[in-house]
Every structure is written in C-alpha cells, then in structure tokens.
Amino acid sequence: MPSNIEQIILHKIDILAVDPLAPNNNVTPLRGTGGFRLRVGDWRVLYSLDSASNLLRVAAILPRGEAYR
C-alpha cells in the first residue's frame, strides 16, 4: 500500500473512531457478520464495533477486489 494511501486510511479511521455511529456515506453494514465496511477509494476497511468496551476493532484493510472473498 502506498504511504499516502496509508495516511488517508489512518485519518479516516481516526475520524470514524470519534463517533462510529455518526452518519457516513462510506460506511455499510456487512451482511451476516455483524461488522461494517469503510470505503476509502479503492481500499476497504473491515471493522466491528464493541459497544460494551467502546472499541472499534479493525479486522482488515484490503483492496476492493479482495475484501469480500
């Protein structure tokens, strides 16, 4: 992953972590997993929310074509 893309993704995750339930056009719930997908250009950040411990857990950061296999 190019370093400029890495910085953008980290910034988007930081914004998401502040209020993960805020409306965001780039976030979609994943069917059957209870997780979510954050779209950042051609990259996908797959994550889950643990409201009991107030954690956003990033499971994977993958290119679009590999994220849903």
- Whether the full predicted model's pTM is greater than 0.85, yes or no, is yes
At residue 51, the pLDDT reads 79
Q: Which residues pair with 48 in a beta bridge?
A: 57
At residue 62, the pLDDT reads 94
- Encode 46-68: b = buried (16+ Cβ within 10 Å), e = exposed: bbebeeeeeebeeeebeeeeebe
At residue 1, the pLDDT reads 84
What's the DSSP call for residue 22? S
pLDDT digits (tens, 9 = 90+) for 10-62: 999 999 998 888 888 899 999 888 899 999 999 999 999 987 888 999 999 99
Do residues 27 and 15 touch, judged by C-beta distance below 8 A?
A: no
Do residues 27 and 63 touch, judged by C-beta distance below 8 A?
A: no
